[in-house]
Amino acid sequence: MIDSKTDKSNNSNTSNISNENTNLDDENSISLLFPKIMVLLRKKIQKKLNKTDLLWDQWIVLSQVSRHEGTNQKNIAKISLKNEASLTRTINFLEKRNLVKRELSKKDKREFLIYLTDDGRKTVEECEKIMNNVQKEIDGIFQPDDLAAFHKLLIELFKGLE
């Protein structure tokens, strides 16, 4: 359980974390904290993304298209951890907004490759500024050494759950 206290010897916030975190009845168990953190993070990001008229899930897909331009929808779905039907709906929306375009693959006439449009590139730039500001806010919560250790642990957890 997390018991936040102020350490009077150095006036810094400390957390005493015990092995009770494996207790699913505990409100501070990892399995309950992660969804709560995700909801708070999504709310924060969505509020800032509202000026771009994109939803969080649409931004995730647009971001992955930006990073992997010219790949097919199946790969974008895998990278963004979305099912293919959901991804198709999102790509359709982004295409209607003229943010992405589909081009028939020259190698396989059954697949479409996804690319950003000029409007898509501008939107990605705008969203990346927003996301960088959110990242700075999150980074500011932690001391640099703690942030590096936390990041390493998150990567280990992600790989372990894949």
This model's pTM is above 0.85 = no
Short-list 39, 134, 114, CA closest to 72 = 114
Q: Tell me the helices (H) and strands (E) count for the chain, helix number first.
A: 6, 5
Query: Tens digits of per-residue pLDDT, 12-66?
Result: 444 444 444 456 567 778 888 888 999 999 999 999 999 999 999 999 999 999 9
Query: Tens digits of per-residue pLDDT, 87-132?
Result: 999 999 999 999 999 999 898 888 999 999 999 999 999 999 999 9
Q: In this structure, is residue 16 part of a structural domain?
A: yes
Q: In this structure, is residue 24 part of a structural domain?
A: yes
Q: In this structure, is residue 62 part of a structural domain?
A: no
Domain extent at residue 46: 1-51
Mean pLDDT in residue range 134-138 = 92
What is the DSSP pairing of strand 2-7 with strand 12-17?
antiparallel
Q: Cβ atoms within 10 A of the Cβ of 105, count?
A: 13
C-alpha of 47 from chain center: 15
Q: In this structure, is residue 156 part of a structural domain?
A: no
Q: In this structure, is residue 92 part of a structural domain?
A: no
Q: In this structure, is residue 100 part of a structural domain?
A: no
Count structural domains, the chain: 1
Q: In this structure, is residue 2 part of a structural domain?
A: yes
Q: In this structure, is residue 35 part of a structural domain?
A: yes
Q: What is the pLDDT of residue 120?
A: 97
